[in-house]
Every structure is written in C-alpha cells, then in structure tokens.
Structure 1
Amino acid sequence: MDEDERDQGGSGVAEQSPEQLIARAIAPVKKNFLCPPPVRDSTPNDDVSVPDDNKTTSVLAKEKKSKRQLKRERRQSTLQDQKSPRNLCPEIARTGDVSSCPYKDKCRFSHDLEGFKAQKPADLEGQCPFLKSGGTCPYGLACRFSSTHEVAEPSGNLNGLKNSSEVNGLSKDVQKLLWKNKMSFSKADAKLKSLGLAGPKSKRNDFENKDGGNTGPNNCDQSDDSGSCVVTSDSGSKLECPAEVMKDDDNDIDEKSESDVLCPQKRRKTEENNGPKEAENEGVTVTEQIVERSCIKSELEAGTDAMTPETDVSLKLHSREKKLIDYREKLYLAPLTTVGNLPFRRVCKVLGADVTCGEMAMCTNLLQGQASEWALLRRHSSEDLFGVQICGAYPDTVARTVELIEQECTIDFIDINMGCPIDIVVNKGAGSALLTKPMRMKSIVEVASGTADIPITVKVRTAYFEGKNRIDSLIADIGSWGASAVTIHGRSRQQRYSKLADWDYVYQCTRKAPATLQVVGNGDVFSFVDWNNHRTECPELATCMVARGALIKPWIFTEIKEQRHWDISSGERLNIFKDFVNFGLEHWGSDTKGVETTRRFLLEWLSYTCRYIPVGLLDVVPQRINWRPPSYHGRDELETLMASDSAADWIRISEMLLGKVPVGFTFAPKHKSNAYDRAENG
C-alpha cells in the first residue's frame, strides 16, 4: 500500500467498497466524511531535495561521547539550571520567605525570589489540583495555579498533600542501603540455595556487561556433570554479586569502602561464624544489615480481597497456601511502557478497568535503588487490584527483587515479563530472550514463587522466532513451577506487531494448561465484540488483557461492561483528557516542571488516540485495531483535530488543557506500532 494513502483521502478510498477497504486494512469511513485529495504541484522533481554534502560529512564526523562525558555534561547543566532564578528553593516557594531555607548560602537552589516572579509563566486557568482535594499545595509560589491559593501564609509539610493517595515510595534509608549494597536478602538467598542455584561468588556483569557478552537468545544454558541445568552468567558464574551492580558509570556513588562492596552472602557467613562483634570488626555491622520495615497501612488494604493477610513472619506460606487472585471475567489493563503511567491507570479505573499493573521495571535498576525505576511501582488508592511487572535475566536477580518489592511495597501480585521484544532487553538475556531458555525460565519462576508470599504471574509471547511456537509445550510446566497465572501475547518476538495476534494458538495453549493455572489472552482486543468472541471460542480462558486498545480508546472497558459501541463525542473525549491532566498534576506536580512532564505524557498518549475513528463515521462497526484511517474530517472542529496524526495538532490539544508550550518546544513520540505504519498490512 502507498505510504501516503491517508493523505490521498478520497482519491482512491471513496471509489472502493467497504469490503475492499477492509481487505486492505483500511478503515471504511463514510464517504461524506472523507477529505478531498490534496492538489499536488505537477512540477517535475518537486519532492527531490539535494543533500548538503558538507552537512552530511560534519554529522558523520561527529565524535561519539562516552558515558562519563555525557554524565559530566548533565551534572554541569543541572548545576547551572539549579542556580537559575527559575529554580527557586522549594522551601522559599512554599513559605514565600527568603530566610526560611535552613541551608542558607549552601542551598543548591536559587534564592532570588524577585527574579523567579519576573520570569514565572502566567498561571493556568482552573483551580490548584491539591486544593481541589481539600489539602494544601506543596509548591506554594511555584504552583502554576498560585493565584487560586488562599492569601494566608502556607503551612504544613513540604510534601503537603502531594501523592497522599499514593503508596510504594522508596524510603531514603532503604535507598542508601541499596546504594551501598548492604541490603539483606535472606529469603531469596535461602531459596536459591535450596534450589541449588547458589553457586560460587565470582564477578557478574548482567545488565552492566561492558563488552557486550553473549547474553542474547543464542546463549543457551549449560549443564553440569550430572546433567542438571546450571544457570550461568556472562562470565560463567552461577550467582550474581549485586555489588557489581553499583559499578555502572551512571551511578552517583563515587567512593566505596571495602565493606560497601562485600557480597551479602559473605557478610552473612562472617556473622554466622564470628558473631556480631567479629562481624563488626570485618567492616560490616549487624545493625547496618537489618532494616526496620514499617508496613504501609492504608484504606486500600481493608478494601482489597486480594491482599495477603498479615501473618507471623516466622510462618512461611506454602505456594499452594497463597491467597490467589481470580482473574476470571475481570477487565485487565496491560502494563504499558511510558503511557501506562499512574495517571493513565487512574483514567482507566474510572472507565471500568478491574486489574491494573505498573510499567515494566528492570530488576537491576530496582536493586540499585534508582528512584526513577521505583517510581514505576507507585500505586494509587483507587487501584484496588494492582500488581507490578519486573524483568530480569537471572534467578538470583529476580529473587532478590521479589523479596525487596514484597517488603517495601503494598501490592497484590508480581508479574515477571518474559516477552519484552525490545532489543536492549533481549540482548542482555531478559524479556523474550528467556523463551529460548526454558530451564532458566523454570529457575526464575521457581525461585520467585518460593520467595514471595503473594501470587507470581508470568507474561510470555508465543515464541522468540516466527513460526517456531513453543509455549504449548511449556504451559503445563509453568503451573508446576509455581506461577498462578500466565498471560500469552499471541505474537512472536520476531513478528512484533506486523500481523494480527494468533488467537487460535492462544486457545490451543489454554486448553493444555492445568486447572490450577489461569490463562489470560492478549492481543488486538479493541471492542466488546472481540472480548465476547474470545470468551465464547475458549471458555477455559480466564480473561483477556487489553493493551493498545486501551491506549487508543480507554473507554473500551466501559463498552465491554455495558456491551455497547460507544459513539463518544469529542467533548466527552476532551473531558477524559482533562481528567488525565488533573491526575498528572497531582502525580508529577503543579509547578512548571510538573506541568511540562504532564504535557509530555499527554502528547505520548495523543499519538495513540488519534487512531480512533468515531463509531458514527464508520460504514462497518466495530473498528479493528489494524485498520489505517484515511484522511477524514469529524463531525465538529474538535473531532477533526483529534483525528490528526500531526504532532503540531497534538500540541494544540495540550495547550487547550495546559497553556502555551515553552519557547522552542518540540515533540516526537517514543513509540510507533508497526501494525499502523508498515505497508505489508495493506
């Protein structure tokens, strides 16, 4: 199909029948809504551009910067920005008093209050989201809604009401222990030892491998003399020492004592053999290794039937005694990279989603205490059935991450991603690369389920290579390994999104699954008709996971529950975007930085929602997820604007909700779907 078919509008689409258009995966939009073909200049070679050889040469000659150099430049830029008047000290912004900062001249932020007021952008329309919730705004003068604040002097904690309905934050004490590699993982290490996965402690690189290693899909597991599987690392060791995780160039810890890099197992061995006093002499005190954990008690614990009941820590639950989650008939929102953030999940909860899951988090980054990775685990109180998804290449890394998350977070289940197709993940042996290593899959699931007291689920694809499906041969084993549920995405890693999901194979795997293993199907669910068909074709299927369908039209959950095609108006769609913006300002902040962060994520989402075609404009209902829309106009100006696939129009929509963009603002979406762009689907 011609790449600019959408631009041609009525030049070819209007002359074809709906059946012909559907056969070519083109949406059958009613002819009276199609745009006329654009008038093209007949001048020959009008689209030919002469490349600038000098410019091309200069680009090729540009020197690639090292990680250290990039890090140094980022730090210098950060220091300069922090002293800029636009980065006012948070304490001064909150109180309005220049003398309120306890750090005085040593503060890393600006104390130029008048300079900040002079350059601050105009306030946005509406009310401060924190005042809407009945609390005080933690941003004070920095808030982009400060004109709606009360005249009275701000009071209260710096954090105010921010994130008061959110849990699963990483405490500073735990983060410091992770930075120094002094965290104890007793349950995980005991389970690794019992499964024979605790081998000799030698240097491991895992995701921090500098020489590329052979951790990709072709690096199969080896066996020992007895014939049993041995999970090995890049360098051939069987167990990762997480101290090596701290040696990445991007970490901020520059100096570590000898005790900081001791392997946790060596520290425990020292304590067991020598006692507390001798262990302290070795440079590691017992008190440093023991962290007092405080359970987060919130209202969602009382309202969620899937929460693990509080028990004596000395009583270890057997895997069959875990309080399992019944996914049957529940509407499951898939973990979605970038766009599946907490504000988006809140929108989906309002529209009818039952189960939500956080974005995929890398195990090694969590064990390093990276705040940006831990932010992916945050949970809102409205998410009454919530899980987190993690991704790791080795049993020890996954086991320690599972123990850490269970101790620090309030969650209902942990999902292990074994289907991620992203190259940077696969090349390190994680994600869908694990599909080529069933024995390592077994080790990861067994040690994770044996470590956690909450259900462990797994997400997989049909296979790594196209045409070589293998989940049907593993489905019976996955349940025996300890997983309580498995999600099967009906595509291979190699296929990506170039074809529709293979639901017949998903049905085949589901029928082979043991009764104790719930199977969730995933792929191309875009209407209640799709949902009903899958449930009818395979009653053994527990439920269907909704992924891209929720990105394009999050009201799909309402459609499924109400069993109707919702011809949603442009005004109703705009109200959904308004809800997202309000949730985003609560989550990322109502200051300028929070507003622009909210805008970026809104634009990422709009790059998907533009693919939605209103029900009233279609000759055939419902819309299929692989249909490409021709150029058309909506029933009103706003609906036409929302149908645009131009980033400039997405920015216009964001300005309707968040004010004008900063000078020099640009945007390009991070993710593109091959099912939407590639010509072979036409």
Structure 2
Amino acid sequence: MDELESKLVENPVVSAVSPSSASNTTQKTPEELVARSIAPVKREFLRPPPVRPCSSVNHEGAISDTKDKSARSAVDKEKKSKRQLKRERRQHQKSALNICPEVARTGDVNSCPYSDNCRFSHDMEAFLAQKLDDLEGECPFMSADEPCPYGLSCRFFNTHRNGVPAGMKNSRRRSSEVNGLSKDVQKLLWKNKKKFPNADAKLKALGLLGRANLKSKNLEEKEVDQLVLTNSHVTNGDGCTNFTNDTDAKVEISAKVAEEDGISETSAHDEDPPLKKPKCVADECCPGGAEDEGDRVIENAVCESSIEPEPEASADIMLPEDDRSLKLHPRERKIIDFREKLYLAPLTTVGNLPFRRVCKFLGADITCGEMAMCTNLLQGQASEWALLRRHSSEDLFGVQICGSYPDTVARAVELIDQECTVDFIDINMGCPIDIVVNKGAGSALLTKPMRMKSIIEAASGTMDKPLTVKVRTAYFEGKNRIHSLIADIDCWGASAVTIHGRSRQQRYSKLADWEYVYQCARKAPDALPIIGNGDIFSYEDWNRHKADCPELSTCMIARGALVKPWLFTEIKEQRHWDISSGERLNILKDFVRFGLQHWGSDTKGVETTRRFLLEWLSYTCRYIPVGLLDVIPQRLNWRPPSYYGRDELETLMVSDSAADWIRISEMLLGKVPEGFTFAPKHKSNAYDRAENG
C-alpha cells in the first residue's frame, strides 16, 4: 500500500460524488435529509463542491472539450465507409503489434498452420521491439499446471517461469469455463442449415409452424390481444383463465385475416383439407374449459392452433406417438429450489463472467448470464454466445434470452439445450430498452398476452430443463396486469416467475412497488415460485420482504450487487459491513485477475478487462461507507452530497469523475493507451429526479 499511497499523494483527487451544496446539507437534520432522499453523511466528512474547469461547461450550456473531441472522433468514424474501415482493420492485423497467436504461444515462426496465408504477423523481432512494457504483478495463468496460452504476447511475460516451450499445444486458457460454440455448429448456423426437430415439432403441435405469412400473423395476434385486453376473463377452478369473447368478433377476425391474405375460406378448404387439431397444452394442465361451440372457437384462438402447417413445410419432422408419450410433462421436470437462495440478477454489460465470479466468492447462490438475443444466437454470433459462458464455480447457473416470436425463442432454447450446460433458461419479458421493445421483445410482450402464451408454451415444451420468466408489473405506469396472468403463466409451463416491481414506463425511476409484488405472490399457485426484484440494498431490505410476504420464494439482487457486491455477505452474516478502502481494492484486484483469465492477458485482453472494470466503477462510486453515515443502512435512491473519504483511496473510490476511475484502473492494469477516453455505457436515472423515492 505504500506505493499506492504515494501515487495518491502525487495526484490528489479533484472531484466528488455530487455537486450538492455542503452548506445546505449541514443545516438540515439527518431525518430531513432522508425525507428528501439525500444521504445523511456526517458533517465532519462534508466538503464544498469542487470547482470544475471552465472548459467543462460554458455559460450557454455547451458540452465540454473532452466531449467535443469524442463527438468529433465518432463523427469522423461514421464518415468512413465500411470498406475503408475493413481495410484499416486488416492493415492493423498485419502490423507487427498483432503477432500470430500460434507463433506467440509456441515461440516458433513455423508453427502456424496457415504459413504465409495467415492474417497476422509472424515477425517476432518487430513485435518484441514494439511491444508495450510488461505490467506489474504475476501472470494470471501461472497457477495452472500448463504454461500461459499467450506466450510472448502476454503482458506479464517476465513472470513466466518456463518461458515459451517449443511445440506447445493449446493450453488450458479456459479449462474452467464451458458453454462455448463449436465451429461446426457455428458454420451450420451461418448457412441456415441447422435443424431444430424438437422445437419444430412443438411448434407444429401448437399450430405455430407454417403460418401463411408474417403480416397475417401479426394482424391476428394484434386483434386477439385487443380482445383479451378489452373483454372480461373468467378464472376456472384450477386458477387458469378462460378468455371469453364474442364468437361473431372472432369470425370477423378470421375473415379479416383471410381477406388480407387474398384467400377465401372456400379456396383454402379446397386446397388443404382440414387436419385434426392438436391438443393444447393449456387443456392438459387446465381441464374444464368452455363447452359450447362459441367458447371452443375462442379456445382455438387462445391455443393458437387453428391452422395446421403444410405437409411440405414439415415433411422432415417426425414425432412418433411413442416419443410423444415419453416427453416430460411440465410438472414432471427437474425443479430448482429457489427458496432462501441469494439470486444475482442477469445484468447487461456489467454482469459478465468475472463479475459473477466475484459475487459467487462473496456469497451469491444463483447466477445468471447476461441477456442474449435469440436472433443473434441463431445467427451464430460469437459475441452473443460469449454471454452464455459459465465458470466451474457457478454451481447453479442459468442463461437469459430475449425474443419476439415463439419460433425464434423455441429454436434458441433447443440450441442452448444441446450446446450448453445450464440449470435453467430464463426468458426476459421485462427489458425496458427501446431497441428491444421496438422489436416486440422484452416489455413489449406485456401488452401481448397471446404472444407471451405462445412463447412460453413453445419454449417449455422444447426442453426438459426448468424455464423461468422475468417480467415487470406492466408496460404503462398505473396499469398493473401481471396479477391477472400469473396463474396462466404457471399453466403455460413456466417453472418460476421473477417480478420486477416497476413498469416499463418507470424504467428505474422511483422505488419498486413491493406491495404489488406481494399481491402477485399471494395470488400465484402454490407450485409456482415467485421471485421479487427491486431496490434490495441491505440485509434489512431482504429480511423485511421475506417477513412481509412468506409466499415469496426469494429475492433477486440487481443494482445493489453492482454498487456493493459484498451485499451477499451482509445478508448471509446479517450485518452492515463497514468495508475499508483496502478491502474494496482487493475485490477489484480479484475482478482484474478473473478478467485477465477470461478475456486474456495480452494487450487486447488487458484493455477489454479495463473497459469492463471502468463500467463497474461507474456503479461502485455510488456506495457510501457505513462509517460516514448518520443513518444506516444506505438506500439505493439516496443522492450523495460532496464528501471526503476516511483516506485518500476511499476519497478516490467515491468520485464520480471518469478520470478518477481511470486512475484506479491504472493502479491495477498499468497506464492507459495514448488517446484513451471512456464514457459509461449505462447512465441510470435513479438520482436524476427529485421525486425518486
């Protein structure tokens, strides 16, 4: 720590957490500050807000010089054509800095199987002449039995004990990681030749395979969803909903779809004789449906099985009756006991494998990978498949996927079931991001109960592993509706439901509505575990939610884990941990070590680790040490004033300046490259509005 302290003295911290006035804060009592969602920091640690450079913001509200430079560089990059960018990438690959991975591993120029046709450089002397200086510390792969897989390109090469042995084969870079996509399967996905027999058979049984066209499909679902939303629904004895609508209205919908497609009912029946309607999954688990002819017509629409696929479309799909009888019913699948387990939520960008390893070390029981888009998985995108990777320490692990239609979700589920080792698959039906919602996925599905039903039925019937669903209370604020669908989600085949206590319109503003989460948990069937989510930031929050609603199986921890990952330790040990700056730095060191093992110890891996470390530091700076507060515990929506830490390192860690985050990264990963800039990918609006709380 002596070297670290000397660096801090040479570069004192110049920024603070918030521009709030310290004088206004000291004039109010802690109770008044808490009422206004301002963190009640002890007076001896408060300080005036720092003086920002004049170039940061001018009187007319212009952006800072740094932002101007980043904006101009982004514009210049956009002006370049794709061909020019591709040419620049290839030239960069051929440069001496990008040595062939095989040559770097073995130290032998002749070891590359591509020889002169290799995309990378084979000039070891030029590479060593331009290579950046080695970093301080030990190579993260030295603990393994085999040598470092990066050889000469490793930024810790001077710590290698045996150098680079000639003829070394691929070492155990990821021996503790699984769920990689094989090249053979990736090529089949690229060529659109991958077969999905289980998914297609289930889609065929549900009548979702071989629709006339996407236009008629969207029209029918839109009209049926509107009928579901506007008409009343009756709950039967098993808790499932039988939607009762007018038969004449349903006939009008069918006629409208047929007219839109340019097909009359007579011609359609002449060309394709009606086939036997497959039995709906909802009928199997929810007996006692409507008995009159009108209700049966509506039931056909709810089951989405009114149209059978053409024989040519599924001629290669055969599901013998014996195989169908051996298929596990949703009730007979493996059940995961979520009760009382600490569940780390799937977190975009920051919830990567190294971060999950940190949380697992600090006490998390269940981990889940970042949300992956089904369409990207089915296209074989390596970057999307990287989100599914699993470490051996994750003993109870699931992956989260997101899709708009039952066919893409079902096929993605079958692909993951074949290629990955997971304990459960979670479908995200609550993501509020615009790019996801605009494609009809995420929170957009909350307005389409028919689409939700089709996706859950198709996905749950494709695999034998548990299928869970994550939702929000509603799409629009003040119009909660999950309580009316919770029993149906159980009938459709879900093994558990996670409810985030906010609507899509709220995003992350205001506090989560836990009373509504309790209402849904009490209304849910006994066999369906309900997991609550939202604003858990201390063991007291955890205890209160469990005591107020025993029907909750457990609570999911999301942003609280980003700000202080030791929250899992606090819950298990039932204490408020006044963690020191040195202990926090050790957690960051663990993350860096895990990141180098995951992304690599070469220059590219180091900078990738740095980028994800900076993304995480943009959240950890929101933590206020327990010893600095007049009132504990800290609430997630508190806006911190400007304050000092108890030492220089703690003051640096609470800074909201990206320059200070970069300084922390330089302590762990060395100097940043020339021209390096960073802007957080995510900016939560949790502190931006006065009404939050």
The bucket for the TM-score relative to the shorter chain is 0.7 to 0.9
Q: In the alignment, is residue 269 of structure 1 matched against residue 310 of structure 2?
A: no
CA contact under 8 A between 1:229 and 1:439: conserved in structure 2? no
What residue number does 1:24 align with? Answer: 36
2:59 & 2:388 partners in 1: Cα distance? 48
The answer (yes or no) to whether the contact 2:223–2:253 under 8 Å persists in 1 is no
Partner of 2:449: 438
- The CA distance in 2 between the partners of 1:446 and 1:487, in whole Å, is 17
2:482 to 450, 459, 471: 471
Once the two structures are overlaid, the 10-residue window that deviates more, 461-470 or 8-17, is 8-17
1:467-546 alignment runs, 5 A limit: 467-546=478-557
Q: Tell me, what secondary structure is at the counterpart of 1:677? A: coil
Deviates more, 1:592-601 or 1:111-120: 111-120
Find out whether 1:6 has 2:6 as its counterpart. Answer: no
**Residues 342 and 364, structure 2, Cα contact 8 Å, conserved in 1:** yes
The equivalences for 1:125-140 within 5 A come to 125-140=136-151
1:6 and 1:629 in contact (8 A); partners too: yes
What is the CA distance between 1:551 and its match in structure 2?
Answer: 0.1
In 1, distance between residues paired with 2:47 and 2:449?
Answer: 52
- The change in CA–CA distance for 1:404 and 1:201 in structure 2 (over 3 A counts) is farther
- 1:170 matches 2:181: yes
Paired with 2:647 and 2:77, the residues of 1 have a C-alpha distance of 49
* 1:414 and 2:425 matched: yes
Contact 2:377 2:384 survives alignment (8 Å): yes
Q: Distance in 1 between matches of 2:310 and 2:99?
A: 41
Deviations for 1:570-615, whole angstroms, at most 9, x for unmatched residues? 0000000000000000000000000000000000000000000000
The question of 1:15 aligning with 2:27 is answered yes
Task: Write the distance in 2 (CA, Å) between the matches of 1:115 and 1:550.
Answer: 45
Identity across the alignment (%): 72
User: Of the candidates 583, 587, 598, which is equivalent to residue 572 of structure 1?
Assistant: 583
Q: Aligned pair count?
A: 597
* Alpha-carbon separation, structure 2, partners of 1:368 and 1:125: 40
Aligned CA distance change for structure 1 residues 216 and 576 (closer, same or farther; 3 Å) = farther
TM-score by length of 1: 0.82
Shift of 1:228: 9.5
Describe the shift of the 1:163–1:51 C-alpha distance in structure 2 as closer, same or farther (beyond 3 A): closer
Q: Hey, what's the Cα distance between the residues in 2 that align with 1:64 and 1:120?
A: 26
Match of 2:45 in 1: 33
1:350 to 345, 361, 373: 361
| Displacement after TM superposition at 1:456 (Å) | 0.4
Q: Deviations over 1:303-330 (max 9, x none)?
A: xxxxxxxxx9994222111111010000
Counterpart residue number, 2:127:
116
Contact in 2 for aligned 1:416/1:458 (Cα 8 Å): yes
1:358 partner SS: strand
- Matches of 2:685 and 2:485 in 1, distance apart? 28
Residues 50-69 of structure 1: CA distance to partner in whole angstroms, max 9, x if unpaired? Answer: 899xx99x98xx79969xx7
What letter corresponds to residue 191 of structure 2 in structure 1?
K
Distance 1:383 1:102 in 2: 36
**Aligned mate of 1:639, from 650, 656, 659:** 650
The residue type equivalent to 1:18 in the other structure is: P
What is the CA–CA distance in structure 2 between the aligned matches of 1:347 and 1:36, rounded to whole Å? 35
Q: Which runs of 5+ in 2 are unaligned?
A: 1-15, 229-248, 263-308
Q: 1:364 aligns to what SS in structure 2?
A: helix
- Look up the match of 1:193: 204
Question: Offset at 1:417?
Answer: 0.3
Could you say if the C-alpha distance between residues 80 and 236 of structure 1 is closer, same or farther in structure 2, counting changes exceeding 3 Å?
A: farther
Change in Cα spacing, 1:38 to 1:78, as seen in structure 2 (3 Å) is closer
Aligned equivalents of 2:63 and 2:331: distance in 1? Answer: 66
Q: Are the equivalent residues in 1 in contact too, given 2:200–2:317 (CA < 8 A)?
A: no
Which residue does 2:661 correspond to in 1?
A: 650
Q: Does the CA contact (< 8 Å) of 1:335 and 1:357 recur in 2?
A: yes
Instruction: Tell me how far apart the structure 1 counterparts of residues 169 and 61 of structure 2 sit (CA, whole Å).
Output: 55
Task: Say yes or no: does 1:362 pair with 2:362.
Answer: no
Change (3 A) 1:538 1:49: closer
- What is the SS of the residue equivalent to 1:7? coil
The answer to whether residue 415 in structure 2 is matched with residue 404 in structure 1 is yes
Q: What CA distance in whole angstroms lies between the structure 1 residues aligned with 2:171 and 2:623?
A: 39
Amino acid at match of 2:383: S
- Code of the aligned partner of 1:535: K
- 1:461 & 1:143 partners in 2: Cα distance? 45
Cα distance change on mapping 1:153 and 1:338 into 2, 3 Å: closer
| Contact 2:467–2:496 (Cα < 8 Å) also in 1 | yes
Residue aligned with 2:471, SS = strand
Deviation at 1:94?
Answer: 1.1
User: CA offsets, 1:58-100, max 9 Å, x none?
Assistant: 98xx79969xx75434322220110111100111111222232
Of structures 1 and 2, the one with the larger relative CO (CA 8 A, separation 6+) is 2
C-alpha distance in 2 between matches for 1:218 and 1:119: 64
The Cα RMSD (Å) is 3.3
Task: For residue 331 of structure 1, report the CA deviation from its aligned partner.
Answer: 0.1
Q: Partner residue of 1:661?
A: 672
Letter in 1 for 2:522: R
Note the alpha carbon deviations across 1:263-301, whole angstroms, 9 max, x for none: 9995852698xxxxxxxxxxxxxxxxxxxxxxxxxxxxx
Counterpart contact for 1:490–1:506, Cα < 8 Å? yes
Q: Structure 1 counterpart of 2:111, which letter?
A: S
Q: Give CA deviations for 1:79-134 in whole Å, capped at 9, x if unaligned.
A: 01101111001111112222322222211101221111111111111111111233
Q: Take 1:580 and 1:633, find their aligned partners in 2: how far apart are those partners? A: 25
Matches within 5 A, 1:622-637: 622-637=633-648
**Higher Rg:** 2
Change in CA separation of 1:533 and 1:202 when aligned onto 2, cut-off 3 Å:
same
| Structure 1 pair 70–608 and aligned structure 2 pair: CA distance change class (3 A) | farther
TM-score, with structure 2 as normaliser: 0.80
